[in-house]
Amino acid sequence: MKLCPPVIGQDYGLAEDIETFIVTNRHEGEGLSPITSFPCFVFVARLLIDELAVRDVITSRDVEVVAWCELYRSRSDADGHVFD
């Protein structure tokens, strides 16, 4: 996922801003394509590697989790903390 504008890298002790993040499920057996139940609990991680495009597999050593998030069906559901 590309962010625009990027996250300021200095907040994470980095010289460069962070433009790319990985979003993945926190719970085993859940998927993001398609999301089957809401909210969908995810990790947001920044890449620690440069060659993502040539990788078939990303390991936990290749990323740093920077947030735990919840994805909701709509803004209204998020505001009301609505579960399926």
* pLDDT for residue 12: 80
Q: What predicted TM-score, i.e. pTM, was given to this entire model?
A: 0.77
Domain, as residue range, for 30: 2-80
What is the SS3 assignment for 16?
Answer: coil
pLDDT of residue 3: 80
Residues of the chain with pLDDT under 70: 53
What pLDDT sits at residue 79? Answer: 95
| Alpha-carbon dihedral angle through residues 41, 44, 50, 53, given to the nearest 10 degrees | 30
pLDDT of res. 41: 95
Looking at the structure of the chain, the number of domains it has is 1
Tokens of 51: 């060659």
DSSP code for 76: H
